[in-house]
Structure 1
Amino acid sequence: MTESLLANEPWIRGGFFLFVLFAIALWEVSAQRRPQEIGRLTRWPANLMIVVLDTLAVRVLFPVAAVGAALMASENGWGLLNLLALPGWLSVMLAVLVLDAAIYFQHRVFHAVPWLWRLHRMHHADLEFDVTTALRFHPVEIVLSMVIKMVVVVLLGAPVLAVVIFEVLLNATAMFNHGNVRLPLWLDRWLRLIVVTPDMHRVHHSVIRRETDSNFGFNLPWWDRLFGTYRDQPEKGHLDMTIGIEDFRTRRDLRLDQMLIQPLRHSVLSSGSKVMPD
């Protein structure tokens, strides 16, 4: 089973990725949460191209990535879970929880450390918030994230199955909670007790920095509540809040070349809540 998972992991992840991407995109068309000033044709080509570059970077540098790290740990008996005589299902469950907590803390560190923020801010510099925003991460950040994930997998001794489940869940929930989709308020209130919802995560993409530094979870919402970073609603409401960051607010900043060199760029004059012309 382990060898089969390793061999089919790219197809499993790719299949779920495409299914969820198209499903959320269709949902956005039929039940849009916020009107968008900048159309998909302006933003989506670069956002989609970024995920292609990210995938190529990871596969070139880490051909078997986190799943391969889990297999190596299992074969050598490395990591905490490989030293404990736990039932398989419990090891899988604990590994998924610990990996999700690790992503939460990694996210907080990328906001707190200035040079890491310069990498991560590309994700926040999208001037709209929809399913493709979930794909918008700088390739260098993706590579660093993979290194961190592989270290956690080995130290934890995460089972291969747990890593595959976690990767699929992380991709799917990230696209879901970045979706520009409308949920009934009562459903959002209950759903965000078990998963990060779009209204919960949208707060994190506010131009107001104290809101940007909240709601760090991608998958499970419990870490924000437990560690004091949970914010229920944006100050100006979901329809009136401004998405993005102050530094890069022109349509030119949405181009792929500008996104890739953004970590090297200094702040530019911006108009705050208004999108500047090209």
Structure 2
Amino acid sequence: MFIAVQISWLILLGIAELGAARWGRAVPRGARTARNLTFTVINHVAIPPLTVLCLAAAQVVHPPVGINRLPMWTGMILAVLAFDLAGYWFHRVSHRSLLLWRFHQVHHLDEDFDFTTGARVHTVEESLHQILLVAVAIVIGAPPLYLTVFGTLAFVAALWHHSNLAVPQRIERWLRLVVFTPETHVAHHHDQIEDTDTNFGFLFPWWDRMFGTFNRRQRTSDWRIGLDYSRDLGLIGLLLVPFHPRQLKELALRPATDAGPRSAQTAKSVTR
């Protein structure tokens, strides 16, 4: 059932973008869409068995005791909040750790912004994130069902807040108070690091507001989506570049439209 929900949402957003796109295409669909969706196929094959294996091994060592004792809806809400908070910090650290950034940059190398960007996550990154969520589930005593529900919500939310949809401002204004919207998340994909290093949340914007990383900046027509140090790569390149001995930043051919030098203050904050 959960897979059916995810596939249905993927199709629905694809159809919606055809008729209600907010921005024109920066990159032709074709090969880009195919390689983005290939990542979600790979991850949907690889991640569920990993999750089952981790949960089974963990319950042998440490049977869960915790929020599974609470009424189901109370426990599930608390679990979703805990998983989302863990995801916020995993995402934020992925922008600071040179090792994790090797994999996370695959998501940011996309030079356009639509629902398929949300599906474009390197399998190693997705696996590490899933292992973290399993660890959180063990600590708080969350049943596997709660993790499955969160995984579905996170996938639906990722496709939604990466979508290129024209949401009426009167609706978007209220939505952004509760969940990330395309208007609030797009800054995270601006190729300038002062925007890229903001809005790390998955489901809720509260963590960014709480920890000082929320960015209200709105996209303009002269923005470049992607990373300032590299053009996008082909599918095989995206899969293999994290394992190259040298960082992509040292190897890459810079984009044709260079956004210019960063300020000295910004440059000092960069650790990747």
TM interval, shorter chain, is 0.7 to 0.9
Residue 38 of structure 1, CA deviation: 1.2
Number of equivalenced pairs:
254
Alignment of 1:43-192 (within 5 A): 43-60=32-49, 62=50, 64=52, 68=55, 72=59, 77-82=63-68, 86-192=70-176
Alignment of 1:156-235 (within 5 A): 156-234=140-218
Specify whether residues 69 and 228 from structure 1 end up closer, same or farther in structure 2 by C-alpha distance, changes over 3 A only: farther
Letter in 1 for 2:236: D
Specify whether residues 145 and 126 from structure 1 end up closer, same or farther in structure 2 by C-alpha distance, changes over 3 A only: same
Residue 34 of structure 1, CA deviation: 0.9
Which residue in 2 is equivalent to 1:266? 248
Residue 160 of structure 1, CA deviation: 3.2
Letter in 2 for 1:271: P
Q: RMSD value over aligned CA atoms?
A: 2.3
Specify whether residues 123 and 79 from structure 1 end up closer, same or farther in structure 2 by C-alpha distance, changes over 3 A only: farther
Specify whether residues 55 and 93 from structure 1 end up closer, same or farther in structure 2 by C-alpha distance, changes over 3 A only: same
CA contact (8 A) 1:58 1:65 kept: no
Residue 87 of structure 1, CA deviation: 3.0
TM-score (norm 1): 0.84
Alignment of 1:235-246 (within 5 A): 237-246=219-228
* CA distance in 1 between partners of 2:153 and 2:237 (Å): 30
Other structure's SS at 1:64 match: helix
* CA distance in 1 between partners of 2:143 and 2:182 (Å): 30
Residue 76 of structure 1, CA deviation: 5.8
Residue 224 of structure 1, CA deviation: 0.8
TM-score (norm 2): 0.86
Which residue in 2 is equivalent to 1:31? 20
Letter in 2 for 1:256: L
Residue 257 of structure 1, CA deviation: 0.7
- Which ranges in structure 1 are unaligned for 5 or more consecutive residues? 1-11
CA contact (8 A) 2:189 2:196 kept: yes
Residue 272 of structure 1, CA deviation: 5.6
- Which ranges in structure 2 are unaligned for 5 or more consecutive residues? 259-272
**Deviation by residue 1:114-163 (Cα, 9 ceiling, x = unmatched):** 11111100000001011111111111111111111111111111133322
Other structure's SS at 2:248 match: coil
Other structure's SS at 1:129 match: coil
CA contact (8 A) 2:42 2:123 kept: yes
Which deviates further from its counterpart, 117-126 or 225-234? 225-234
